[in-house]
């Protein structure tokens, strides 16, 4: 079936040969097809000669449609000077020239300086194809090797005449089931050589089919969403949501853990066991998780040039199996964000950091800080773009998001792109201020609540009773204070007595008594209105007897103390002996300490209420 | 505590100062001590609040922010649904993913309190512009409510004893292992919020009884409503409260306050509870709720008799009336109950309720309840493990409660005694007893400490220089001690009394600190494991993580058809639907015993018989849990006898003795032939005979049971191995399609 189609194509092409442009001639083509991974890389070195009369400024490349639909990247460059000069990229664009076969897609390389008559130029063309290796058989068991089929043309398909060409196909090694031997195919080690062929007309085509062993896991991210969130507080957070599948030969007949663990030579050689992500240096806060939680099988190491994250999926991925996970990491802001002419721009890589992963659908979202303006993006290749808004912590108007979407992405797309925007540094303070004011409001509300009187009816009995009770309490407290001051006056008197026994200074002792006496009298005067209020208040009925008792006891204590004081001073004036003084004072003393206890007790009791 | 205690005015101010300018400043000083006390109290409470939250985060630090165990996965799944689809969709949700092919009406068969609470917290945080994930909210719901419980415990303690006891209760309950076991971060289960609701309802009810205020009674009705919406344990409230009322009536403590509190709480609480679809009309139809209704009517009779007594004003007449009235009331009541029971309007008690009253009931009649490990009677060691010193403080607290009997202390005593009984019947009910034990113990601690400090401080005051006690905290309640002190101030004071007090105080602090250490240790070692991720020590002392459950569930989620039906034992049903996102035959909501028995029968039949059952149930994959490689003991082989029992309870073809040898359960060469060839055995040990698990042991050595397996040559005819996790803990088999007929 395939061969029939290829022959038909060949015949068709032959009819078009005559109308091909003949200004340019390709004098030599070296093609190398790298099939060691599941991404097909074709590097063609073309030596182009201008055999016409006019200056030529573009070279046409032809790729069969069958392959062109899988084309991920097409790059043309030439080396400056002889040998290994620096490579200069040439712009490539898809074109639809008139009068060309429809089975081919055309791409034109624009030359910076036209190719003059008789001059020649060496151009390298790197084309990368995905999904070009077909597993055959399509279903294998766990112990089988994975065989794939690759189809191409032995001749370089070109709208120009090709004078001399050769083709090398690099295989991953291992078994080669079959390969097209005509014309002049030759297998050396793990390389198949075709050619050299001389003098072929334009659009020459000779199909070749290679069937060989390729045990690489065909890792395809069916969808990858990368979210790059810029925080001007000093970091860039990158979150990558992967949706992976193994697009190699489908596993059939179940999975045996025993074979997988103990017989690794036959337990799933094409399965995906681990992935390595090469992250930028100084990446930190790295995590690896999925919908149902953290995945603990990952390793990380890094030095000043790179950070390497080695992750294992929860289970080995066989052909046809899928998994999904999320990795996230933070990068220091200053490595990727720069300022130019008052604008800020973010310079960061586009693709995924993992090796040999084909991404069917890549969405890159750049989340800029709230308040960013005039956002623009420059990407080195064509992408679909749109804008979104994202709400994160404490966002009011939301963060502007630029989303870029590209299909069929290969590691070669992992180049830098830029996002330009304007941002005022003062906007940084907005969120902390909001938090602070939020808490302030909370506290103000609390204070207001504590001070506000929220009772519904101001005239209800219980409300009035409560007010009265408050008043009574305040009065009782005042009474207590007065009593306490009385007690401290008593203490003064006692100390004066002690001083007397030490110094014998009768006069100062008397003076102290006088002062204390005055003070006590004043205090009892103070007490009078308070007591009056308490007696009259109905709310105080319960507490009144105790207060009354307290005041009475205190009064009694006062009297006794005075008597004691007088007695002691008297004794001192009469110069009695210590023992006699003690004898005289003893009854007072006993009474006093008993009274004091009672007063203390009462004070405590009232405190309780 | 010298003569110059902080608050007393230190020196007598000059007498010249006028009274008007003097009073406010004294007032200010006085208020300050009160404020200081308030400040100390609030800061202690705040610290306890934080502590209660922080101690429950061990699991997040050790593992990750994840949902634990089995039931929480269902709760998480429903909460996710609620936040995504809204309340009405949630209420009307018919779940096709469980109990295939029956399905489950989620809205009518769950207590929505937990999910609604988490969703409300989530929506509030979202509204306040905090971009949190619902999983974080779910993980932290239980610790958050545990923190709130400490506040309620404080107020409850204050209500039944004093604020000191309240503070101690808050501190004790914050770290009580019995409570922590069900409220660590990630244990997103009904109990997490239910204990808060339970304690809140009780507190509000006691408050209502103490004050006789309609407002508090109303609040307690709402607390009850929240409890009903959150957990089936509300039955405890609706039986304990009437019992309490009855006890108050019998002890002659009937009062108008009680009448108001109970009637308001019961009537409103009942009406509110009927709004929960899962509970519905049970309050008037189920035997478990009849006690409350009986007490309600009894209170009316009591009130009526009181009124009659007041109006009659003649004891003789009243007694004859009383006799007639009581006979009528009792006969009418019992007649109504009898008619209700006979006509089936009032349903009899459920099995769970029976098994609470009679611990041996479940073992004989309901194997599905008996098979759950948390429904086993409690061992002494787990009491000690979960309560530690509280176990000794509990009787001491009861003593203090009896010494100062009041309506409130009677309540806590009854709560403590009944819940302790239930805790003895079922392990999981230790949780319900924990707050009561903490509260009663806090009374013991607080009262003892207070007495001791009083002794020490009273001594100090005996010095002649002592004048006034400044701080307001010294209580006059210690009259006894005071008398003692008074006597000793004249005689020579007892020389060692104070030292003994200090020694006792130090001893109390030592005990309490041991309690704190024990709680922390228990929390970190025993209760912080998510049980879905297993951790062990490796050969080199490093931590080895077995994440096999999630490995398998994620494989199911990604690599099976979206409509695949998974058959496993019911334990794993919730996890498979939540993490694997696949349909299961049976799950942890064990509402249909026959369906579970069918799965049990399939697991215990020969492969060809099982194949017919599986085909009739449309099963695509079979999942078994196997611990033979790692030595994980709670696997399906160890649970297998329950499958046989539950299967045999419905299908008489399954006979337990056929799986046993002389009453002994074995898997080695001496095992029963039926055992060696049943589906469960084959699925667990398929190709296990080729594995060397331990050095120096023959291949096929089962590390979980420590024997070499009996059937090493397991051949599967109708199933094929689809996936086995890296440590073999979960094995998944695919049911092959039927063979072509030709």
B720, A315: Cβ pair inside 8 Å? Answer: no
Q: Which two tokens stand for residue B235?
A: 């039955």
What distance in Å separates residue B77's CA from the closest CA in chain A?
11
CB contact under 8 A, B461 and A394: no
DSSP H/E element including A240: strand A235-246
Binary contact (A314, B8; C-beta < 8 A): no
Task: Report A:67-126 residues touching B (Cβ under 8 A).
Answer: none
- Using a 10 angstrom Cβ sphere, with 0-12 exposed, 13-18 middle and 19 or more buried, the burial of residue B175 is buried
- Check A392 against B66: CB less than 8 A apart: no
pLDDT tens digits for B391-445? 999 999 999 999 999 999 999 999 999 999 999 988 989 999 999 999 999 999 9
Does B740 have pLDDT greater than 90? no
Q: Does A430 touch chain B (CB under 8 A)?
A: no
- Find chain B residues with C-beta within 8 A of A600's C-beta: 461, 468-469
CB of A257 within 8 Å of a chain B CB? The answer is: yes
* Averaged pLDDT for residues B617-637: 93
Within an 8 Å CB–CB cutoff, is residue B722 touching chain A? yes
ipTM greater than 0.85: no
The reply to whether residue B725 touches residue A321, judged by beta carbons under 8 angstroms, is: no
What is residue B466's predicted lDDT score, i.e. its pLDDT?
A: 34
* Residue A261 with chain B: CB contacts under 8 Å: 726
pLDDT(B473) > 70? no
Q: How far apart are CA B132 and CA B143, in angstroms?
A: 17
Rounded average pLDDT over B479-497: 49
**CA atoms B393, B396, B401, B404: torsion sign:** negative
Q: What percent of chain B has pLDDT over 70?
A: 90
Residues 483-512 on B with a CB inside 8 Å of A are 486, 489-490
Across B170-174, B289-293, B735-739, which has the greatest mean pLDDT? B170-174
For B476, nearest residue in chain A (alpha carbons): A605
Whether the CB of B26 is below 8 Å from some CB of chain A: the reply is yes
Mean pLDDT of chain B, nearest integer: 87
Separation in Å, CA A490 to CA A396, A493, A516, B461, B471: 68, 5, 8, 16, 20
- Give the integer Cα–Cα distance in Å for B118 and B138: 6
- CA atoms of A100 and B3, how far apart (whole Å): 113
Chain B contact set for A322 (CB, 8 A) = 558-559
- Mutation for B interface: A223, A243, A255, most B CBs within 10 A: A255
- Residues of chain B contacting A477 with CB distance shorter than 8 Å: 27, 30
Nearest to B131 among A290, A393, A490 (CB): A393
Find the CB nearest B476 among A315, A519, A604: A604
Out of B15, B23, B467, closest to residue A515 by CB: B15
pLDDT score at B459: 52
Q: Which of B26, B64, B559 sits opposite A322 (nearest CB)?
A: B559
Q: How close, in Å, is residue A288 to chain B by CA atoms?
A: 12
> What was the pLDDT predicted at B22?
42
Which B-chain residues 386-445 have CB contacts (< 8 A) with chain A?
none
All residues of chain A having their beta carbon less than 8 Å from the beta carbon of residue B12 are 485, 488-489, 492, 519
Give the residue among A78, A104, A107 at the shortest CA–CA distance from A90: A78
Q: Is the CB of A546 inside 8 Å of chain B's CB atoms?
A: no
Mean pLDDT of B85-99: 93
> Which of B:542-571 have CB within 8 Å of A?
545, 547, 550-551, 553-555, 557-559
What gap in Å lies between CA A510 and CA A21, rounded to an integer?
Answer: 136
Q: Which of A335, A227, A316, A333 is nearest to A272 (CA)?
A: A316
| Nearest alpha carbon to residue B71 among B668, B630, B711, B577 | B577
Nearest C-alpha in A relative to B462:
A597
Output the CA torsion A562→B6→B443→B215 (10° steps).
100
| CA atoms of B194 and B196, how far apart (whole Å) | 5
- What domains, with CATH codes, occur in chain B? 560-735 (3.40.50)
User: Mean pLDDT throughout B99-110?
Assistant: 91
Which residue, among A251, A315, A485, would best test binding to B if mutated, counting the most B CBs under 10 Å from its CB? A315
d(CA B395, CA B437): 9
Q: Which chain A residues are closer than 8 Å to B716 by Cβ?
A: none
Answer whether residue B34 shows pLDDT above 80. no
Interface of B with A in 61-80 (CB under 8 A): 63-64, 66
Say which range, A69-78, A491-500, B117-126, B270-279, has the weakest mean pLDDT. Answer: A491-500
Mean local confidence (pLDDT), B214-229: 96
Q: Say whether B489 and A296 touch across the interface (CB within 8 A).
A: no
Task: Give B687's contacts in chain A (Cβ within 8 Å).
Answer: 256, 258
Residue A529 touches chain B, beta carbons under 8 Å: no
| Phi, then psi, of A203 in degrees rounded to 5 | 60, 30
pLDDT tens, position by position, A357-408: 999 999 999 999 988 989 999 998 889 999 999 998 888 889 999 999 999 9
Q: What is the pLDDT of residue B342?
A: 86
Q: Residue B9's pLDDT band (boundaries 50, 70, 90)? A: very low
| Pair type for strands B583-584 and B565-567 | parallel
Q: Does B16 touch chain A (CB under 8 A)?
A: no
B579 contacts A604? CB cut-off 8 A:
no
Backbone angles phi, psi at A597, to 5 degrees: -60, -45
Q: What pLDDT sits at residue B523?
A: 93
In Å, how far is B514's CA from the nearest CA of chain A? 33
The mean pLDDT value for B246-270 works out to 94
Return the exposure string of B563-598: e unless at least 16 CB atoms fall within 10 Å of the residue's CB, then b: ebbbbbbbbbbbbbbbbbbbbbbbbbbbeebebbbb
Instruction: Give the pairing type, strands B701-702 and B707-708.
Output: antiparallel
User: Does the beta-carbon distance from B23 to A604 stay under 8 Å?
Assistant: no
Predicted local confidence at residue A228, as pLDDT: 95
Give A244→chain B minimum CA distance, Å.
10
Q: Report residues of chain A scoring pLDDT below 50.
A: 1-5, 7-8, 11-12, 14-15, 17-20
Q: What is the pTM of this model?
A: 0.85
Residue A196 near chain B (CB below 8 Å): no
Interface touch A255/B468, C-beta < 8 Å: no
Question: Is B27 in the A-facing interface, judged by CB distances under 8 Å?
Answer: yes
Domains, chain A, in order of start with CATH, read 24-213 (2.60.40), 219-423 (2.60.40.1730), 462-608 (1.20.120)
**A83 to chain B, minimum CA–CA distance in Å?**
51
* Residue recorded with tokens 């102290």: A512
B477: pLDDT strictly greater than 50: no
Q: Give the mean pLDDT of B252-261.
A: 92
B712 touches chain A (CB under 8 A): no
Quick check: A519 and B12 CB within 8 A?
yes
B contact test, residue of A250, A287, A293, A591 with most B CBs within 10 A:
A293
């Amino acid at each position: 079936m395939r061969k029939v189609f290829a022959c038909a194509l060949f015949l068709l092409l032959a009819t078009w040969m005559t109308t091909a442009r003949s200004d340019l001639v390709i004098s030599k083509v070296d093609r190398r097809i790298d099939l060691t991974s599941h991404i097909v890389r074709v590097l063609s070195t073309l030596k182009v000669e201008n055999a016409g009369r006019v200056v030529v400024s573009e070279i046409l490349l032809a790729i069969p449609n069958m392959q062109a639909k899988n084309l991920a990247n097409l790059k043309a460059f030439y080396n400056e000077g002889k040998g290994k000069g620096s490579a200069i990229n040439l712009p490539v664009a898809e074109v639809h020239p008139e009068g060309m076969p429809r089975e081919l897609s055309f791409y034109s390389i624009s030359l910076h300086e036209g190719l003059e008559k008789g001059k020649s130029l060496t151009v390298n063309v790197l084309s990368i194809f995905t999904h070009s290796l077909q597993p055959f058989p399509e279903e294998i068991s766990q112990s089988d090797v994975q065989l794939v089929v690759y189809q191409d043309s032995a001749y370089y398909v070109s709208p120009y005449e090709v004078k001399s060409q050769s083709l090398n196909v690099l295989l991953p090694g291992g078994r080669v089931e079959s390969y097209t031997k005509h014309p002049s195919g030759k297998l050396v080690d793990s390389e198949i050589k075709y050619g050299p062929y001389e003098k072929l007309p334009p659009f020459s085509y000779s199909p070749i089919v290679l069937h060989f062993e390729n045990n690489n896991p065909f890792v395809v991210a069916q969808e990858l969403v990368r979210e790059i969130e810029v925080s001007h507080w000093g970091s860039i957070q990158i979150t990558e949501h992967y949706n992976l599948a193994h697009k190699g030969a489908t596993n059939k007949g179940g999975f045996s853990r025993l074979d997988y663990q103990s017989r690794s030579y036959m337990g799933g050689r094409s399965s995906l066991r681990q992935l390595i992500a090469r992250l930028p240096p100084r990446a930190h806060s790295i995590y690896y998780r999925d919908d149902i939680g953290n995945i603990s099988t990952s390793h990380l190491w890094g030095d000043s040039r790179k950070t390497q994250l080695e992750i294992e999926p929860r289970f080995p991925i066989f052909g046809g199996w899928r998994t999904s996970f999320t990795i996230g990491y933070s990068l220091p802001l200053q490595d990727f964000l720069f300022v130019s002419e008052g604008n800020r721009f973010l310079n960061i890589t586009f693709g995924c950091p993992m090796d040999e992963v084909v991404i069917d659908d890549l969405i890159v979202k750049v989340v800029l800080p709230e308040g960013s303006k005039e956002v623009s993006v420059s990407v080195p290749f064509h992408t679909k773009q749109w804008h979104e808004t994202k709400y994160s912590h404490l966002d009011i108007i939301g963060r502007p998001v630029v989303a870029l979407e590209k299909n069929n992405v290969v590691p070669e797309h992992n180049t830098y792109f830029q996002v330009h925007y304007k941002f005022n540094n003062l906007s940084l303070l907005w969120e902390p201020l909001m938090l602070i004011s939020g808490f302030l409001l909370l506290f103000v509300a609390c204070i207001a609540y504590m001070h506000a009187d929220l009772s519904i009816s101001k005239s209800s009995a219980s409300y009035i009773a409560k007010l009265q009770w408050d008043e009574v309490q305040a009065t009782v407290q005042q009474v207590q204070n007065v009593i306490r001051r009385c007690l401290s006056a008593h203490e003064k008197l006692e100390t004066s007595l002690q001083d007397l026994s030490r110094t014998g200074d009768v006069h100062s002792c008397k003076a102290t008594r006088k002062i204390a006496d005055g003070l006590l009298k004043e205090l009892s005067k103070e007490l009078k209105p308070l007591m009056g209020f308490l007696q009259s208040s109905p709310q105080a009925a319960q507490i009144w007897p105790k207060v009354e008792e307290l005041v009475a006891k205190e009064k009694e204590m006062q009297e006794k103390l005075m008597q004691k004081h007088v007695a002691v001073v008297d004794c001192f004036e009469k110069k009695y002996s210590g023992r006699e003084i003690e004898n005289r004072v003893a009854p007072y003393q006993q009474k006093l300490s008993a009274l004091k206890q009672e007063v203390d007790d009462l004070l405590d009791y009232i405190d309780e209420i | 505590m010298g003569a110059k205690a902080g608050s007393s005015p230190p020196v007598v101010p000059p007498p010249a100062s006028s009274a008007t300018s003097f009073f406010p400043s004294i007032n200010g000083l006085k208020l300050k001590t009160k404020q200081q006390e308030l400040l100390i109290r609030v800061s202690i409470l705040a610290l306890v609040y934080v502590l209660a939250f922080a101690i429950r985060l061990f699991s997040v630090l050790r593992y990750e922010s994840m949902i634990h165990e089995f039931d929480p996965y269902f709760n998480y799944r429903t909460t996710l649904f609620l936040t995504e689809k809204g309340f009405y969709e949630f209420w009307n949700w018919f779940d096709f993913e469980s109990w295939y092919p029956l399905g489950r009406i989620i809205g009518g068969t769950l207590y929505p309190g937990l999910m609604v609470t988490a969703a409300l917290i989530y929506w509030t945080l979202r509204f306040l512009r905090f971009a949190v994930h619902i999983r974080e909210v779910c993980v932290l719901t239980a610790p958050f409510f545990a923190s709130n419980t400490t506040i309620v415990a404080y107020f409850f303690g204050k209500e039944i004893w004093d604020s000191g006891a309240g503070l101690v209760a808050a501190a004790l309950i914050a770290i009580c292992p019995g409570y922590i076991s069900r409220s660590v971060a990630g244990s997103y289960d009904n109990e997490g919020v239910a204990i808060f609701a339970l304690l809140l309802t009780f507190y509000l009810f006691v408050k209502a009884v103490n004050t006789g205020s309609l407002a508090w009674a109303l609040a307690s009705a709402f607390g009850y409503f929240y409890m009903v919406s959150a957990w089936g344990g509300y039955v405890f409230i609706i039986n304990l409260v009437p019992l309490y009322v009855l006890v108050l009536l019998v002890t002659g403590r009937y009062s108008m306050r009680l009448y108001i509190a109970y009637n308001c709480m019961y009537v409103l609480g009942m009406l509110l509870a009927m709004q929960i679809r899962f509970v519905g009309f049970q309050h008037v139809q189920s035997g478990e709720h009849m006690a409350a209704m009986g007490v309600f009517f009894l209170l009316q009779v009591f009130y009526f008799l009181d009124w009659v007594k007041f109006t009659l004003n003649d004891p003789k007449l009243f007694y004859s009336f009383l006799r007639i009235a009581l006979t009528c009331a009792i006969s009418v009541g019992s007649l109504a109950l009898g008619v209700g029971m006979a006509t089936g309007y009032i349903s009899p008690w459920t099995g769970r309720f029976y098994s609470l009253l009679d611990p041996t009931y479940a073992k004989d009649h309901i194997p599905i309840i008996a098979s759950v490990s948390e429904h086993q009677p409690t061992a002494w060691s787990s009491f000690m493990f979960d309560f530690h010193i509280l176990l000794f403080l509990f009787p001491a607290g009861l003593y203090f409660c009896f010494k100062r009997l009041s309506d409130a202390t009677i309540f806590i005593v009854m709560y403590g005694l009944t819940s302790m009984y239930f805790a003895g019947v079922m392990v999981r009910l230790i949780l319900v007893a924990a707050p009561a034990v903490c509260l009663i113990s806090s009374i013991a601690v607080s009262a003892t400490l207070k007495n001791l400090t009083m002794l020490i401080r009273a001594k100090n005051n005996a010095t002649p220089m002592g004048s006034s006690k400044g701080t307001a905290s010294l209580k006059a309640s210690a009259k006894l001690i005071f008398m003692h002190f008074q006597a000793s101030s004249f005689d020579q004071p007892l020389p060692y009394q104070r030292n003994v007090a200090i020694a006792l105080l130090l001893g109390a602090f030592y005990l309490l600190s041991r309690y704190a250490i024990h709680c922390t240790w228990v929390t970190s070692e025993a209760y912080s494991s998510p049980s879905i991720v297993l951790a062990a020590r490796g050969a080199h002392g490093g931590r080895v993580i077995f994440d096999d459950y999630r490995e398998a569930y994620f494989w199911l989620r990604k690599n099976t058809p979206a409509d695949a039906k998974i058959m496993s034992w019911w334990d794993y049903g919730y996890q498979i639907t939540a993490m694997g996102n696949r349909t299961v035959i049976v799950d942890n909501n064990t509402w249909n015993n026959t369906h579970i028995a069918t799965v049990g029968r399939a697991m215990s039949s020969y492969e060809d018989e099982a194949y017919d059952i599986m085909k009739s149930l449309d099963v695509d994959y079979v999942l078994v849990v196997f611990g033979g490689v790692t030595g994980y003991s709670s696997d399906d082989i160890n649970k297998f006898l329950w499958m046989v029992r539950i299967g045999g309870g419905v299908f008489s073809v399954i006979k337990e003795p056929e799986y046993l040898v002389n009453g002994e359960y074995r898997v080695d060469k001496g095992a029963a032939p039926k055992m060696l060839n049943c589906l469960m055995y084959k699925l667990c040990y398929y190709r296990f005979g080729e594995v060397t698990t331990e050095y120096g042991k023959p291949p096929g050595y089962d590390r979980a049971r420590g024997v070499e397996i009996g059937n090493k040559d397991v051949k599967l005819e109708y199933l094929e191995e689809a996936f086995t996790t890296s440590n073999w803990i979960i094995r998944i088999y695919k049911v092959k399609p039927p063979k072509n007929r030709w």
